[in-house]
């Protein structure tokens, strides 16, 4: 190893954890990737001052000392884009963990260099255009069967336009083989199946579109009461043990997005291990194939370098934008943005930046906005419709929603699924509290719901009103007990309990209950609200609430979610008819 005196060019002058300072960096540019030390640790320039640079290193800097060499790459931090992303598991800077494991075993060596994509694998390319066609950025020139369920569309890079001079015939090609040549005003450009894109720069789109379709998750409290649109943004805040990670797992498993990008950002290693073990074994309900056939996992656990945690969400969102540009609906799950914000806080402290609320950097709101604003429903450069939906978990200390990350996140999202510790302790899952949560997409997706499940809007509004009235009545019940209430108000308490037990709770381990289609969701809600409407009329006619509660069909309403699966909605309809018959018999009794 060279001594500091013999090293020429840029050298390290100071090391503070993941933050390294270097001199001789006159040729460096902001956000340029550099390689630090003899091991070539990956880093990024985050500050420049008269030939001195501050570098954010994405690997362990143990044993790195002043005098170590620094090599410039001349490129910003970028990801490789092309066939082979789906089904892969990456760390925060797109190093493939399976490839590293095959090369060096269970531990990631410092300076490990493994290509993000397999450059030797040959893909079956099918051309879609012929020579002579006019092309622009985003034009699809061919396809590749990336997995049995994902057709990868090979696109012209966004900065290229012109006339297609040639396209290779259908056949087997590697990612670096030329598949087309485009004549541009600046000369001929060779096109391969591989693209490179800087993670901090959003990929261009033609137009941002209005959200009109929900992201169907199969979770009743979300889809029916607090829906998120395709291209929308949502947050899942909650204290320790409230089920943030499990809720995100359910959303990733069952949401109807074409592509899933799951970012494990700063979570505990055992939780991420559970994800890595579960996902390959989960079958996609739409295709019957493994869920990994349409999933990309990014694993950056709490014991991995903090700087890589900061960049992991940009890596994930860039991969999502690439598939969005192919006309796909992509769902991004970030677990959790609080751990990401903590990484920002630690890096800001080492950079000696002025702290703001609770030690977080003053740029926290801006950084959150930059992340969530990359969601949306768009018209791609090729004219297709694509969407990125972002769901970020937030881990407020002690479940305090007034802390900075939760408060600033609420400024940039339109869907808020507030997890409640008391519900979680009562084993009510998902523990999303119906009074503290909200959705700004209900009106946007109402037309879609009315086409697929008529009277959804009316049922949703009525269910929320019952839950709100029940909360107010509980204040009286705590003081004087339920017996002093008239039957019409006790009916509210009874129906609210039925909504909680028979609709809002959902068992992730029940074959019939783990996923609920929109049609079955509406059928279950219609069953309970229908009971409320008819029972209220009966009570006003003089029937006691106790007689209604004792009807044989009433207990079946709570069990219906588990008894009747998605392919047995007609069973719910038969139960509805039987309940109506029993209610009519009771009504006839009190007419006499």
Residue 277, pLDDT above cutoff 80: no
Q: Which residues pair with 12 in a beta bridge?
A: 22
Cis peptide before 461 (omega within 30 of 0): no
Nearest to 259, CA basis, from 213, 215, 308? 215
pLDDT at 78 over 60: yes
What does the alpha-carbon distance between residue 559 and residue 582 come to, in Å, rounded to a whole number?
18
Q: How many angstroms separate the CA atoms of 374 and 320, rounded?
A: 10
Range of lowest pLDDT (6-10, 198-202, 259-263, 411-415): 6-10
Report the mean per-residue pLDDT for the chain. Answer: 92
Other residues' Cβ atoms within 10 Å of the Cβ of residue 521:
26
* Span of 163-167, 316-320, 474-478, 496-500 with lowest mean pLDDT: 474-478
The most confident of 75-84, 273-282, 348-357, by mean pLDDT: 75-84
Confidence of residue 2 (pLDDT cuts 50, 70, 90): very low
pLDDT over threshold 60, residue 7:
no
Band of pLDDT at residue 592, cut at 50, 70 and 90: low
CA dihedral sign, ordered 300, 302, 308, 311: positive
Instruction: Write phi, then psi, for 386 (nearest 5 degrees).
Output: -135, 165
Strand partners, 234: 391, 415
In the predicted model, is pLDDT for residue 415 greater than 90?
yes
Strands 329-335 and 259-265: parallel
pLDDT at 303 (0 to 100): 76
pLDDT reported for residue 6? 54
pLDDT tens figures, 185-222:
999 999 999 999 999 999 999 999 999 999 999 999 99
Given a cut of 50, is residue 123 above it in pLDDT? yes
Residue 302 has pLDDT above 90, yes or no: no
pLDDT digits (tens, 9 = 90+) for 125-156: 999 999 999 999 999 999 999 999 999 999 99
Instruction: Report whether 27 contacts 14 (CB < 8 A).
Output: no
- 267-300 core/surface letters (b: 16 or more CB in 10 A; e: else): beeebbeebbeebeeeebeeeeebbbbbbbbbbb
Of residues 343, 324, 314, the one with CA closest to residue 78: 314
What's the mean pLDDT in 502-523? Answer: 93
Contact between 65 and 15 under an 8 Å Cβ cutoff? The reply is yes
Cα 412 to Cα 315, 370, 392, distances in angstroms: 20, 9, 11
pLDDT of residue 305: 83
Rounded Cα gap, residues 281 and 277, in angstroms:
7
Residue among 334, 331, 324, 345 at smallest CA distance from 403: 345
Lowest mean pLDDT across 17-21, 256-260, 272-276? 272-276
- pLDDT, mean of residues 169-197: 96
SS (H, E, C) 135-166: ECCCCEEEEEECCCCCEEEEECCCCCCEEEEE
pLDDT at 1: 42
> What is the secondary structure of 186-217 as a DSSP string?
TEEEEE-S-EEEETTSPPP-SEEE---SB---
> CA nearest 375: which of 246, 229, 496?
229
Categorize the per-residue pLDDT at 576 as very low, low, confident or very high, splitting at 50, 70 and 90.
very high
The reported pLDDT for the residue numbered 557 is 95
The arithmetic mean of pLDDT across residues 416-437, rounded, is 95
Q: What does the block give as tokens for 455?
A: 């009277």
The label of the residue with tokens 């950097």 reads 361
End-to-end CA distance of the chain: 102
Is the pLDDT at 101 greater than 90? The verdict is no
pLDDT of 3 higher than 70: no
113 C-beta neighbours (distance < 10 Å), count: 12
More confident residue, 328 or 479: 328
C-alpha 96/C-alpha 117 separation (Å) is 8
What pLDDT does 290 receive? 85
- Interval 469-481 mean pLDDT: 92
Q: Is the pLDDT of residue 571 over 70?
A: yes
Q: What are phi and psi of 53, to 5 degrees?
A: -130, 145
Sign of the torsion formed by the C-alpha atoms of 297, 256, 283 and 242: positive
The arithmetic mean of pLDDT across residues 168-192, rounded, is: 96
**Amino acid 100: pLDDT:** 85
Identify the residue with better confidence: 110 or 93. 93
Q: Is the pLDDT of residue 4 over 50?
A: no
Using an 8 Å Cβ cutoff, are 14 and 72 in contact? no
Q: Which two tokens stand for residue 233?
A: 């943004």
Q: Nearest to residue 147, comparing CAs of 79, 216, 88?
A: 88
Strands (E), 205-279: 207-209, 233-237, 259-265
Once rounded to an integer, what is the mean pLDDT over residues 37-63? 92
Instruction: Supply 356's token pair.
Output: 């703001």
pLDDT at position 223: 97
Q: How many CA atoms lie within 13 A of 269 on its CB side?
A: 3
Residue 107 has pLDDT above 60, yes or no: yes
pLDDT of 552 strictly over 90: yes
At 102, the pLDDT band (50, 70, 90 cuts) reads confident
* Structural element, H or E, at residue 536: helix 518-540
pLDDT category at 165 given cuts 50, 70, 90 is: very high
Domains of the chain and any CATH numbers = 11-76 (2.40.30.20), 118-193 (2.40.50.100), 207-441 (3.40.50.300), 456-591 (1.10.1140.10)
Phi-psi region of 9 (alpha: psi -120 to 50; beta: other; left: phi over 0): left
pLDDT for the residue 99: 87
SS3 490: helix
Let me know how long the chain is: 592
CA–CA separation, 128 and 137 (whole Å): 15
Which residues are CB-neighbours of 552 under 8 A, at least 6 positions away? Answer: 582
* CA-to-CA dists, residue 47 to 20, 33, 51, 197, angstroms: 11, 12, 10, 21
What's the pTM?
A: 0.94
Could you tell me what percent of the chain has a pLDDT over 70?
A: 98
Q: How far is CA 313 from CA 63, 66, 115, 196, 363, in A?
A: 28, 31, 20, 17, 16
What percent of the chain shows pLDDT beyond 90? 79
CA distances to 1, 90, 98, 279 from 276, rounded to whole Å, are: 39, 11, 11, 6
């Amino acid at each position: 190893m060279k001594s500091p005196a013999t090293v020429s060019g840029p050298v390290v002058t100071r090391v503070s954890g993941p933050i390294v300072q270097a001199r001789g960096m006159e040729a460096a540019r902001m956000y340029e990737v550099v390689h630090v030390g003899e091991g070539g640790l990956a880093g990024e320039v985050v500050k420049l001052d008269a030939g001195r640079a501050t570098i954010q290193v994405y690997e362990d800097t143990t044993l790195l000392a002043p005098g170590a060499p620094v090599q410039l790459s001349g490129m910003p931090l970028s990801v490789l884009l092309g066939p082979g992303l789906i089904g892969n598991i990456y760390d925060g800077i797109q190093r493939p963990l399976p490839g590293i494991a095959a090369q060096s075993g269970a531990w990631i060596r410092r300076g490990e260099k493994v290509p993000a994509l397999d450059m030797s694998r040959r893909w079956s390319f099918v051309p879609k255009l012929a020579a002579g066609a006019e092309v622009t950025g985003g034009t699809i020139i061919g396809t590749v069967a990336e997995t049995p369920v994902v057709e990868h569309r090979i696109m012209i890079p966004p900065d290229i336009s012109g006339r297609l001079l040639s396209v290779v015939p259908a056949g087997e090609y590697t990612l670096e083989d030329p598949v087309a040549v485009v004549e541009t005003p600046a000369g001929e450009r060779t096109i391969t199946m591989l693209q490179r894109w800087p993670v901090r720069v959003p990929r261009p789109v033609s137009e941002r579109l209005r959200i009109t379709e929900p992201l169907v998750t199969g979770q009743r409290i979300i889809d029916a009461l607090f829906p998120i649109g395709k291209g929308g943004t949502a947050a899942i805040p909650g204290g320790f043990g409230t089920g943030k990670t499990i809720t995100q797992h359910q959303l990733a498993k069952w949401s109807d997005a074409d592509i899933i990008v799951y970012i494990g950002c700063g979570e505990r290693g055992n939780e991420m291990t559970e994800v890595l073990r579960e996902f390959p074994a989960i079958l996609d309900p739409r295709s019957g194939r493994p869920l990994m056939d349409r999933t990309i996992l990014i694993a950056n656990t709490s014991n991995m370098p903090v700087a890589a945690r900061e960049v992991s969400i940009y890596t994930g969102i860039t991969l999502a934008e690439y598939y969005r540009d192919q006309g796909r609906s992509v769902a991004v799950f970030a677990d959790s943005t609080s751990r990401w914000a903590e990484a920002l806080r630690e890096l800001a402290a080492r950079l000696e930046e002025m702290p703001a609320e609770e030690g977080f950097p003053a740029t926290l709101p801006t950084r959150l906005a930059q992340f969530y604003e990359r969601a949306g429903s768009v018209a791609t450069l090729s004219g297709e419709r694509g969407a990125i939906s972002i769901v970020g978990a937030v881990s407020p200390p002690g479940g305090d929603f007034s802390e900075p990350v939760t408060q600033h996140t609420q400024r940039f999202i339109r869907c808020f699924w507030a997890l409640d510790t008391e519900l979680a302790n009562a084993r009510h899952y998902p523990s999303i509290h119906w009074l503290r949560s909200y959705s700004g997409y209900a009106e946007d997706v109402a037309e879609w719901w009315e086409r697929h499940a008529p009277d959804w809007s009316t049922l949703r509004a009525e269910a929320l009103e019952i839950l709100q009235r029940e909360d107010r009545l509980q204040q009286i019940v705590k003081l004087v007990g339920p017996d002093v209430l008239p039957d019409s108000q006790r009916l509210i308490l009874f129906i609210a309990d039925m909504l909680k037990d028979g609709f809002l709770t959902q068992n992730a381990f029940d074959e019939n209950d783990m996923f609920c289609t929109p049609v079955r969701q509406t059928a279950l809600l219609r069953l309970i609200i229908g009971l409320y409407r008819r029972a209220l009329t009966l009570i006003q006619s003089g029937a006691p609430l106790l007689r209604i509660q004792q009807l044989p069909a009433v207990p079946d309403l709570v069990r219906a979610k588990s008894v009747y699966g998605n392919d047995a909605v007609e069973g719910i309809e038969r139960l509805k008819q039987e309940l109506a018959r029993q209610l009519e018999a009771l009504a006839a009794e009190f007419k006499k």
